[in-house]
């Protein structure tokens, strides 16, 4: 089973800041089948990025994904108030779509 480790656990930032979230896999994620989700408090998760770098429908271009193999990042270029949330990476290259433990982006 591929284990995903996200870092840092929590980020304290201000609106307008740029931030980079990390997701490291215990083994290579084939085809770069790595997704990022956002979960706001009390809401269901929302798909942001799939296949490491493709934005899902309706996702603003301030969100971008990159990486390959075992190291992936999600960059938010300028934080908006609605971006303060928990972010999860997920690999879907195997039959079991495992998630990372999440990174919380909170207001400083």
CA nearest to 107, candidates 12, 39, 20, 10: 12
Which of 23, 50, 63, 79: binder of another protein (CB under 8 A)?
50
Q: Does 97 bind another protein (CB under 8 A)?
A: yes
As measured in angstroms, the least distance from the Cβ of 39 to another protein is: 8
Q: Are 32 and 52 in contact (CB under 8 A)?
A: yes
**Structure tokens of 17?**
């800041």
As measured in angstroms, the least distance from the Cβ of 50 to another protein is: 5
Cis peptide before 8 (omega within 30 of 0): yes
Q: Which stretch binds another protein (CB under 8 A): 21-29, 60-68, 73-81, 90-98?
A: 90-98
* Radius of gyration over every alpha carbon of the chain, rounded to an integer in angstroms: 13
Which of 16, 41, 44, 81: binder of another protein (CB under 8 A)?
44
Q: Does 96 bind another protein (CB under 8 A)?
A: yes
């Amino acid at each position: 089973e591929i284990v995903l480790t996200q870092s840092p656990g929590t980020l304290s930032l201000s609106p307008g800041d740029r931030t980079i979230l990390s997701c490291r896999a215990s083994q290579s994620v084939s085809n770069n089948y790595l997704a990022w989700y956002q979960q706001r408090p009390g809401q269901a998760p929302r798909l942001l990025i799939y296949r490491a770098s493709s934005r899902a429908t309706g996702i603003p271009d301030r969100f971008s994904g990159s990486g390959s193999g075992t190291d992936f990042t999600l960059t938010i270029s300028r934080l908006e108030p609605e971006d303060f949330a928990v972010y999860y990476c997920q690999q879907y290259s195997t039959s079991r779509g495992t998630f990372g433990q999440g990174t919380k982006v909170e207001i400083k």
